[in-house]
Amino acid sequence: MKGLYCRLGQTDADTKFVIQEMSLPANVDSHQVRVKMKACGLSPLDLKLLVDLGIQRDLIPVGREVAGVVLQVGSLVSSFHPDDEVVGILPLDSPWSGLCDVIDVDEHLLVHKPEKLSWICVAGAIRDGVCAYTALHTHARMAAGHTLLVMDGASTFGLLCIQLASYHGVKVLATSHTPEQHTFLEKLQTSLARVIPVFEGSSDLLSDVLEETGGLGVDIVIDTGVRLQEDEGSNGNRLPHKHEVISVLGVGGHWVTSHQELQLDPPDCRLLHLKSASVTFLNQEVWTASTVQQGRYLHILKDIMEKMSSGILGPEPEEAVPLQDATVVMEMVQRCEKKSAIVQF
């Protein structure tokens, strides 16, 4: 049985993705489920995070958003049975690549896949769904009547944030990075209060937000990264500047950021203090890196599947790539030439 793994080098340029032969143990552990893979999502490896957590290996498994059919269950497994369709995210310390034909997974990391959803759909949306749920419910504590600004609303993560917030009665604004994205967002079935173009200097983010909110600012901002310096925008970088994000926040607002190395200067902190606003870091690995809130994590996974099945959450369909192209595609994902990819078996 073969899987895709990352072989680390002395530098990022030396890092290679290789096909490695693996073998399953003869027996399934008591709390594990043996799953036949049907689809797997590919997302960039955070190699620095692995070092921070003390996970050091010669070969790092690739492909952690998995969907498949249960072949066999351990003696103490109570949630699943053979032939069940399941979906989940493998933990950072898993020895298995999601591109292996068959893998063993702890039962507490999986939930049932609704029959009406395709393998590609669930494997491609599960990670961004968890991130959207974590950002809005866990960090921002959104409630009906709040106003939300989603940066890069046309991304899968942004789209799921828009849909989830709208379902809960939140007024949503979103930014678009290209004319095509702008048209796409304006035609969404989920009604947006405003789509703000931020490409080619087409709009002033702060002015548009204040106009839409009557000068009050928004209750929640969710970004996909920010610029720390003004001159970073000169090379076509469409990310908002950190001061822009703080400026659009209302009193008591929440800023949920994906920027791992955010640096706030004293004037930035002063402005946040004046608004009594907060900054929260969105770490997409937090649920699988610690089991302290395992029950809550499973509830999130189940709720995402239920909302996708009922049509409340509906990511844009993504074309899957064949298994033989996985190595080349993963190299593109790691270089950020693609945000993510889905492999179908």
**Rounded to whole angstroms, how far apart are CA atoms 227 and 242?**
6
pLDDT higher than 50, residue 105? yes
**Rounded to whole angstroms, how far apart are CA atoms 207 and 49?**
37
Estimate the share of the chain in helix, then strand, then coil, as percent rounded to the nearest 5: 35, 25, 40
In this structure, is the dihedral angle defined by the CA atoms of residues 119, 120, 121 and 127, taken in order, positive or negative? positive
- DSSP 8-state symbol, 216: S
Mean per-residue pLDDT, 179-205 = 86
pLDDT at 235: 44
Q: At a CB cut-off of 8 Å and minimum separation 6, what does 188 contact? A: 159, 162
pLDDT higher than 70, residue 104? yes
**10 Å Cβ neighbour count for 255?**
25
The band of 150, judged by pLDDT with boundaries at 50, 70 and 90, is very high
pTM value? 0.92
What ranges in the chain are assigned the alpha helix state H? 47-52, 119-133, 156-167, 179-186, 205-212, 242-248, 266-275, 286-289, 294-309, 326-334
**Rounded to whole angstroms, how far apart are CA atoms 135 and 128?**
10
**Rounded to whole angstroms, how far apart are CA atoms 58 and 77?**
32
pLDDT tens for each residue of 210-261: 999 999 999 999 999 898 887 665 445 578 899 999 999 999 999 999 999 9
